[in-house]
Amino acid sequence: MSRLPANLTPEGTASPMQSKTPTMKHKFEGHEGRIYSFIFLHDNVHVVSGSIDGTMRKWDCETGRLIGEPWKGEGRGILALALSPDGKTIACGRVDGSVQRWDTDGKMIKSIWTGHSNWVRSLSWSPSGGHVASGSDDGTILIREADSGKVEVGPIKTNQGWVRSVAYSPLGDRIASGGDKTICIWDSNTGKLVGPIKDLRNNVTSVVWSLDGSKLYAASNRFAHVFNSVSGTLLHRLKHDHTLTSVALSPKHNVLACVGIVGVAQLWDTESHKPLREPFRQEDRMRLRCVSFSPDE
């Protein structure tokens, strides 16, 4: 969860300093179960993590220290966190199929959203902040009005098995979902299927849109696939040595981050499609389940 330098360059053009293997800045310890998701807050100082132990914890990025007590709410383990565009509200998806909202100081907003019959693995806020999409192991997507929690679209029956990832497009008019060997693109206003991307051979564990909405990046097996988001055409495949679990795109730079099993993280230049620096490997080789950039990177 350490921050990344802004002056990244593609492999082969990096200076000796830039080509060094990234080093760990802090190790955040305290959860009693696996961490499935974390988010950077907009202050660029704090991170909030969510764990299968059922708690969220707020950390100081500069010191690595826990801020206050763990946040404990109703429901079971936490699988997904998503921060609202204004940076004020955290959506939290749990094993019992519920979705909660919290402020960034650890106070839960009273209403708990139900509707899914299985784990909520993924959440995404619309760019306007007016809606929240949730993807579940029950194979459906629900799109709710963010203030009231009213389901406005759905349940969308995806036929993707577990919905492992959902992501709003930059304009908010489409939602991409990743699941059983497919990516589906949905009209966010009607829930109608706009275009499926099929035959990926393996489950899609993570999807993210390019900043201009023209491309989709998807983690599936050992590849980060790059698709044209309109035609579904495969543009590039970025190969890794081990299975990927999560991908993230820098909000300011042409950098894609990919993480996966055996604790390996790799950065890629999205223009040259070449790796940046050497991969980072955790000493304990534990699976990395989530990757994210801070807002200033």
CATH number, domain with residue 222 = 2.120.10.30
**Same domain flag for 237 and 151:** no
- pLDDT tens profile 231-286: 999 999 999 988 899 999 998 888 999 998 878 889 999 999 999 888 777 666 67
The rounded distance, in Å, linking the Cα atoms of 254 and 195 is 26
Residues 140 and 257: their CA atoms lie apart, in Å, by: 27
Looking at the structure, do residues 131 and 209 belong to the same domain, yes or no?
no
- Indicate whether 252 and 140 sit together in one domain: no
Report pLDDT for 277.
80
* 2 within some domain: no
What pLDDT, on a 0 to 100 scale, did the predictor assign at position 1? 39
Q: Is residue 191 included in any domain, yes or no?
A: no
Instruction: Dig out the tokens for 55 from the structure.
Output: 């708690």
Structural domain harbouring 88: 26-166
261 shares a domain with 204: yes
Question: Does one domain contain both 39 and 139?
Answer: yes
The pLDDT value recorded for residue 19 is 45
Asked if 162 and 97 touch (Cβ cutoff 8 Å), the reply is no
Per-residue pLDDT at 22: 64
Phi-psi region of 194 (alpha: psi -120 to 50; beta: other; left: phi over 0): alpha
pLDDT at 8 over 50: no
For 181-214, write each residue's pLDDT tens digit.
899 999 999 999 998 888 788 899 999 999 999 9
Please report whether residue 192 resides in a domain.
Answer: no
Contact call for residues 177 and 135 (beta carbons, < 8 A): yes
pLDDT above 70: residue 17: no
- Residue 10 to residue 268: CA distance in whole angstroms: 8
Whether 23 shows a pLDDT value over 60: the answer reads: yes
pLDDT, tens only, 48-104: 999 999 999 999 998 999 999 999 988 889 999 999 999 999 999 999 999 999 999
The residue to which tokens 């079971």 are assigned:
76
Residue 258 maps to a domain = yes
- Together in a domain, 154 and 225: no
Reduced to 3 states (helix: H, G, I; strand: E, B; else coil), residue 261 is helix
pLDDT at 294 over 50: yes
Report the percentage of the chain scoring pLDDT > 90. 68
Instruction: Give the distance, in angstroms, between the CA of residue 259 and the centroid of all CA atoms in the same chain.
Output: 11
Higher pLDDT, 44 or 133: 133
pLDDT at 267: 92
Instruction: State the amino acid at position 75 in one-letter form.
Output: G
Q: Is the pLDDT of residue 293 over 60?
A: yes
pLDDT of residue 284: 65
Q: pLDDT above 70 covers what percent of the chain? A: 91
Give the CA-trace dihedral at 201, 221, 124, 74, to 10 degrees: 110
pLDDT at 15 over 50: no
CA torsion sign for 127, 130, 131, 132 is: positive
Task: Provide the domain count of the chain.
Answer: 2
For residue 6, pLDDT over 60 is answered with no
pLDDT band at 20; cut points 50, 70, 90: low
- Residue 216: count of CB within 10 angstroms of its CB: 26
pLDDT of 128-169, one tens digit each?
Answer: 999 999 999 999 999 999 999 999 998 999 999 899 999 999
**Same structural domain, 35 and 95:** yes
| Domain end among 123, 150, 166 | 166
